[in-house]
Structure formats: C-alpha cells, structure tokens
Amino acid sequence: MTPDVRPLVAGNWKMNGTRDALSQIKAIAEGVSGPLSQKVEALICPPATLLYVSTALATDSPLSIGAQDCHQAVSGAHTGDISADMIADCFGTYVIVGHSERRTDHGETDALVRAKAEAAFAADLTAIICIGETAEERQAEQTLQVLKRQLLESVPDAASAENTVIAYEPVWAIGTGLTPTAEDIKIAHQYMRDDLVARFGGEGKKIRILYGGSVKPSNAAELMAIDNVDGALVGGASLKSADFLAIYSAYETLLA
C-alpha cells in the first residue's frame, strides 16, 4: 500500500462473458456497496459487448466500469476497433491499454500503447497502462530495465494520478497460478515508484501501481499488503463475483 492512496481492485474479463454474466456484474455492484467503498475502489472491465449494459447496472453503486482496449484515433476506418470516446459514451470511466495479451496477439508496441493512453486522456478516461517482463527477460535478470523502458515509452508525459494507473503484470504470472515472491514484487514496485516520482514529482507519489498475475482470494491479502502495491488487476478470479469480492474484501483487514 502507499500512504494516502486509495487502492483499486480491477477485474479484466478478457474475451469472457455473454449476457448471462451480467448477474455477476450485478452481484459485484451490490457486494462493493458497503463502507469499504469509501476507502477502496472496485472496477470491472467486461468485453465491449457488455459495456453499456454494465454501466447501466452499476449506476447506483460505487462499482466503476471500464473497457479492455481502445484505438488511438478518435474515429475512422478501423474495422472492429472502439475509440476512447465510444467508451466514454457508454459511461465507462477506465480503459486498460498495453495488456500483454494485446502486446503479444496484436504486436502492440510501447509507442502505440502510449498513443492509446493519450487517446484515453483526451476522452477523460483513466488509462490502466500494463507493463511487465516476460519469463525470458526475468531469467536474464532484466526485469527492472524492462520496467524502466516500458514506463518511459508507454506512459505519456501528461500522466497524472487522476488519469493514469500502472499495472505491473509479469507476463509469466498471468493465468499460470505463479506469482513472484513478495520480496520481488516489493523491489519492482519500489523501483516503479521511484521512477514515477523522478519523472512526475508529487503526482508520481500518488499514481496507483497495481499488481496483476494470478491474484486470487487465497493470496490477495499478502500481495495487497506489500509496499507500493495499490491494488490488483485480476483476470480469471474476477469472473466469479464471490472470488472478486473476496479479493476486494482483503482490504477489510488490511485497512482496519
């Protein structure tokens, strides 16, 4: 955790969820409506097909709704893509950019991720910018250099605590059940914090840095307690409301 920073527990549904899954959004919206919501923010990023109806379902709750990607342009001939303006038009308030699956499946570069984050800012969305090393980079002991490069090249100069969240997701930890040790996460998050403060000053102290990669109810409390871990980006375990709410509720004890 970081002093005076409101943690964010964010769920990334990826390409999962049809209308049947809206009952999970409803249950999560209800489940995060208690007093903990004053201290901890909750967000679900469903597939784009469920975005508009999800924001409608979450209207009277503290649950935020976001998207999983946006195009860097405002509009135009980009078949299959959605713009940041379209997300805002559906009342989404966040967009994930640079997830490793986009970087791998679609060849997205740091420069493109940065352009997407800038498009998000222009639409008044908060960008969750994902970074993280591959297994090979970790084995070669390049984790911190990779994080430095990705922060420099993926995060726009206009980043602030309001419009930007960083998600540190070691690629090898996503969907594998593996996580770095608490000490490794502590070192990586401290490194990113120092880098953000060096570049953005006071804003860099407040930009939330999430950990992502095999977060589940059984490890959430330990992971969320680490210095400079300001919440989680959760994939698989966000699909079931009970699991997502159990992760969110880890903060009941941590902030008691």
Return residues touching ligand PEP (CB under 6 A): 12, 169, 174-175, 212-215, 233-237
Task: Compare residues 34 and 175 and give the one whose CB is closer to ligand PEP.
Answer: 175
Distance of alpha carbon 146 from alpha carbon 50, whole angstroms? 34
**The dihedral of CA 96, 101, 105, 111: what is its sign?**
positive
Instruction: Report, in Å, the least distance between residue 167 CB and ligand PEP.
Output: 7
Residue with Cβ nearer ligand PEP (111 or 178): 178
Min dist CB 47 to ligand PEP, Å, is: 13
169 counts as catalytic: yes
The active-site residue, picked from 41, 71, 99, 133, is 99
Give the position of tokens 């608490």.
182
Whichever of 159 and 210 has its CB closer to ligand PEP, that residue is 210
Query: Of 172 and 200, which has the nearer Cβ to ligand PEP?
Result: 172
* Structural contact between residues 116 and 71, judged by C-beta atoms closer than 8 angstroms: yes
Give Cα 180 distance to the centre of its chain: 18
**Length of the chain in terms of residues written:** 256
d(CA 95, CA 97): 6
Which residues have C-beta within 8 Å of that of residue 49, sequence separation ≥ 6?
18
- Residue 128 beta carbon to ligand PEP: minimum distance, rounded to whole angstroms: 9
If DSSP codes are grouped into helix, strand and coil, which group holds residue 162?
A: coil
Q: Which two tokens stand for residue 77?
A: 């001939």
Alpha-carbon dihedral angle through residues 41, 45, 50, 52, given to the nearest 10 degrees:
50
- Per the annotation, the verdict on 78 as an active-site residue is no
Q: In angstroms, what CA-CA distances link 218 with 54, 65, 74, 115, 241? A: 27, 25, 41, 36, 15
Residue partners of 155: CB distance under 8 A and separation at least 6: 114, 117, 129, 164, 166, 199
Exactly one of 71, 133, 169, 189 is catalytic; which is it? 169
Q: Minimal CB distance to ligand PEP: which residue?
A: 235
Task: State which H helix or E strand residue 85 sits in.
Answer: helix 84-89
Residue 20 beta carbon to ligand PEP: minimum distance, rounded to whole angstroms? 20
Residue (92 or 213) nearer to ligand PEP, CB: 213
Q: Work out how close the CB of 213 gets to ligand PEP at its nearest, in angstroms, rounded to a whole number.
A: 5
Annotated active-site positions, please? 99, 169
